[in-house]
Structure 1
Amino acid sequence: MVATLTSLSIALLATLAQANPPNGYGSGASGPVIKIDTGCKYQEFDGTGVSEAFQRGLVIHELNAASQKLVLDYLFTTKGAGMTILRNGLGSATDDPFDLMKSIAPVAPASNSSELNFIPLPREDEYQVWLSHQAIARGVNTIYADAWSADGYMKTNGTDSYGGYLCGVTNTSCATGDWRQAYADKIVKYIQDYAAVGVSVNYVGFLNEPDLNTTYASMQSDGRQAADFIEVLHPTLQAAGLKTEIACCDGSGWQQDRERLTGIQEAGDEDLIGLVTAHGYSDYPSYPFNTTKHVWQTEWSTFDPINYAWYSGGDRFQSDGITWANNIHNLFAVSNANGHLYWWGAANTTDNQSLLFVNGTSEVRVTGRLWAHAHWGKQFVRQGAYRVDATVTGSSALNVTAFENTDGTTAVQVINNSNDTLSVTLQGLNFHRGAQTYLTNNNHNLTRGYAPVKRGHKGVVASVPGKSLLSFVA
């Protein structure tokens, strides 16, 4: 869906106060101070990721060998973003011209109680099977399969597009009856098909932006209606012996998904889901959900003309790398989310729906947004880490997150939104093993050691250039 820049994002970049100029190395007393408290822990970190749904896996597959490897390494290794989550699309279309995802049950059965007419995964599920293997080989450890819609014959409007509702949920009436069990059976078969080719699906979703009616695959649902299907899907997964957990509900924005979660909670079905999922389009992720479940932001991008910049200073700043660094910071530090997924990782698109742009069989171009994501990739923050307290004094221009990994290392991401270089003192970490820095800005892409740290009597000090993201690892 088309997103506009949120007022919160505009305010973030437009109203940040200008910080003091650098004061050199020393105690850091006259510059900003960042205090890390690893004894104060917040949410667990699950990872970052992307999707290649709607046949963008095919786009990567058609690249020549060198460019294909480049894209996959940029997305899933520490040479690039180091992502560990892949979101696949669970198809519902009757055929698969480019930009559609074909169903594994495209032909309606005789009735809602008849066995579905399953076919093999079309073209390896539009090359998502191939992509899953490539991603797993590079360290991806979580596969999330999400359906944009049930098949048309299971819905009130008879098509997988233009919204409509699943037959059998509250406030629907279909002449063909209740299709909830058939839809659950299809989802189970899809997961089993992936297992048969060596890919475990960790989470499965049955809705995508259920608050919208779109011209492409879509299915509407409120919270009560989502609960009606969860009450069928959960026991069906269990009966099949699957460990896959249910994710819900990929609302188009934070508030849109909270409304669905509230309905599930009121129905008493929250314990039947394993993951709360929402997008960042219609409502910016700006507060925590009231749930004990892990929460992921599972789709977000911008749609303005192509922008490769880290910081452009122009009217495309909503798609700048530094803007996305701030978006990710806010997602973890303000919304207490456990995971973040951009929309497409790589695509042949004319706007900013992807982190990498591909053209033909060889051209690959990298955006500043990819390098922003890299600072929360597995090179720095690993699954099972916990966000820890990071407080900033002396400057309102800095956004800081910190995570403690299970091996005791700590990664700290420092975003300097001002134009000035700031001499920052970092306190509260064990620096006996030393600290390494990684810098990203208009002139550097995850450059190691560019901003060396020096010991002061109050901590370690490093210069953070203006409009930059500097990560510390100690």
Structure 2
Amino acid sequence: MIVDLSKTYQTIDGFGVSETFQRANQMKALSEPLQRYALDLLWNRTTGAGFSILRNGIGSSPDSSSDHMVSIQPKNPGGPGAAPKYIWDGNDNSQVWISTEAVKTYGVTTVYANAWSAPGYMKTNNNDANGGNLCGVSGASCSSGDWTQAYANYLVQYITYYKELGVKVSHLGFLNEPDLTTSYASMRSNGQQAASFIKVLRPTLDKANYTDVKITCCDAEGWSSQQGMMSALGSVSSLLGTITAHSYTSQPNSPINTPHRVWQTENADLQGPWTATWYSNNGAGEGLLWATKISDAITRGNASAYLYWIGVQGGATNSKLIRIADDKKSVIPSKRLWAFANWSRYVRPGAVRVGTSGGPSGAKISAFQNVDGSVVAHIIQSGASAVNVEVKVSGFKAKVARAWITDDTHNCAEWTVSMAADGGSASAQVPGRSFVTLVFESVG
């Protein structure tokens, strides 16, 4: 396998999860030792996945019943031009807690605040659930008036509350799956309507001195759905920061046509029964499958970030990476978490994907150069047979090479690697159905 540092592709922003819809409350309710263990599994770069992005949900619901995310303005203040009546509990369903831990304890710098909907009174259906449009965007008028500026102010107020607590929101999204109507918080939007709101949101952020906060759009349910919104977003391209898409209805198998970085911001095996295994029959919740999904998104879809849906929660499905046991006395990481760890621990924010060639037949390979100069090479061997792989980094002299492996019996564990005397290549055995990461540290 040859790594070509002269051939460069997208910059990587990172990997992550969310604890939205009161999942962070479930984490916070654990005993303190289990809280720390769960936090370490998510954010620690030595003992956990070393995630670098946290996605938070901006509430829109009138209350916190069920798993609803309560709004910071649950009641209509008296119209779009009325003085706001914000209510802030400083907790935000424990998202403040996990955000503070991620940022202050673990050094995370990318916090993505994402709204599923505007509050119901700002919408055509007068409900934060069941779809409906934001009053005032193109083609959506309401007797109550145009709420676009009030919604922009509302979003800015939300990130200000976090700023006051020492958590800097880096990315702000105002839509989630706008192509889907659900019985929970949801708001419809096409590309033209999203563009009309972005024209209000960007100057509102700038006026509040949030010029460095990037606007994201549009977290469509599938990769091709997001591609379908892009032409209408062309008129606001200069106001946008990052394009975001999910991959439930279509996979990130090709790049989205945009000058901006693109994030895969939500995917999961939502309904499959809890699976902690690495490989058994290539099932939808197995770790090896998720290692390859991330690889495809990055190498074929040119994604700059990949986020799973939920990090930690209870329940018997694969909608999360780490399960809280039914008796709340243990937390159980799945092999999906360790698949992510091989990516997130070593491919750090600011890394650039670089060229590769060769590699074992049928294996998925990729390589990156980090900001610190280190070079990371990935080999995902989906086949059953072991292969010896020599990785040569052209024009690079390494001081040391190290390797890590995830497979049936290893969880991102240190692995044997031998480096050539000239520091230009290293060799490692890659067992069947394994994910091996090599890291070359530069002489510099």
* Category of TM-score, reference length = shorter chain: over 0.9
Aligned equivalent of 1:89: 57
Q: Size of the alignment, in residue pairs?
A: 433
Aligned equivalent of 1:100: 68
Aligned equivalent of 2:372: 407
Matched, 1:240 2:205: no
Q: Output one character per residue of 1:40-89: Cα deviation in whole Å (capped at 9) or x when no partner.
A: 11111111111000011111101101111001001001111100110000
1:125 is paired with a residue of what secondary structure? coil
**Shift, 1:456, TM fit:** 9.0
Aligned equivalent of 2:197: 229
Aligned equivalent of 2:287: 321
**Shift, 1:433, TM fit:** 1.7
Aligned equivalent of 1:418: 383
Aligned equivalent of 1:374: 341
Q: Output one character per residue of 1:199-222: Cα deviation in whole Å (capped at 9) or x when no partner.
A: 111111000000000111000000
Aligned equivalent of 2:439: 473
Q: 1:64 aligns with which of 26, 31, 47?
A: 31
Greater relative contact order structure (CA < 8 Å, 6+ sep)? 1
Matched, 1:185 2:185: no
Q: Output one character per residue of 1:158-187: Cα deviation in whole Å (capped at 9) or x when no partner.
A: 100010101111112211111111111111
Aligned equivalent of 1:176: 144
Matched, 1:254 2:254: no
Aligned equivalent of 1:23: none
Aligned equivalent of 2:407: 441
Q: Report the AA paired with residue 279 of structure 2.
A: Y
Runs of 4+ in 1 over 2 A off after TM superposition: 359-362, 428-432, 451-461
Aligned equivalent of 2:393: 428
Flag the 1:120–1:459 CA change in 2: closer, same or farther, 3 A. closer
Q: Report the AA paired with residue 256 of structure 1.
A: S
Q: 1:218 aligns with which of 168, 186, 191?
A: 186
CA distance in 2, matches of 1:226, 1:454: 52
Q: Output one character per residue of 1:316-351: Cα deviation in whole Å (capped at 9) or x when no partner.
A: x12110111001111111111111111101011321
Long gaps (5+) in structure 1: 1-33
- Assess if the C-alpha contact under 8 Å between 2:386 and 2:432 holds in 1: yes
CA distance in 2, matches of 1:341, 1:461: 31
Q: Report the AA paired with residue 284 of structure 1.
A: Q
CA distance in 2, matches of 1:172, 1:247: 22
Aligned equivalent of 2:417: 452
Aligned equivalent of 1:156: 124
- Assess if the C-alpha contact under 8 Å between 1:249 and 1:261 holds in 2: no
Aligned equivalent of 1:332: 298
CA distance in 1, matches of 2:386, 2:178: 45
CA distance in 1, matches of 2:398, 2:86: 59
- Assess if the C-alpha contact under 8 Å between 2:2 and 2:391 holds in 1: yes
**Shift, 1:452, TM fit:** 2.8
Q: 2:269 aligns with which of 299, 302, 306?
A: 302
1:167 is paired with a residue of what secondary structure? coil
Q: 1:76 aligns with which of 34, 43, 47?
A: 43
**Shift, 1:223, TM fit:** 0.3
- Assess if the C-alpha contact under 8 Å between 2:130 and 2:184 holds in 1: yes
CA distance in 1, matches of 2:320, 2:176: 18
Aligned equivalent of 2:169: 201
- Assess if the C-alpha contact under 8 Å between 2:417 and 2:426 holds in 1: no
- Assess if the C-alpha contact under 8 Å between 1:51 and 1:86 holds in 2: yes
Q: Report the AA paired with residue 380 of structure 1.
A: Y
Q: Give me the CA root mean square deviation.
A: 1.5
**Shift, 1:235, TM fit:** 0.9
CA distance in 2, matches of 1:120, 1:447: 43
**Shift, 1:431, TM fit:** 5.3
Q: Report the AA paired with residue 409 of structure 1.
A: S
**Shift, 1:424, TM fit:** 1.3
CA distance in 2, matches of 1:184, 1:94: 18
**Shift, 1:448, TM fit:** 0.3
TM-score by length of 2: 0.95
Aligned equivalent of 1:135: 102
TM-score by length of 1: 0.89
Q: Report the AA paired with residue 272 of structure 1.
A: L
Point out the more displaced range, 360-369 or 69-78: 360-369
**Shift, 1:425, TM fit:** 1.8
1:433 is paired with a residue of what secondary structure? strand
Identity of aligned residues (%): 40
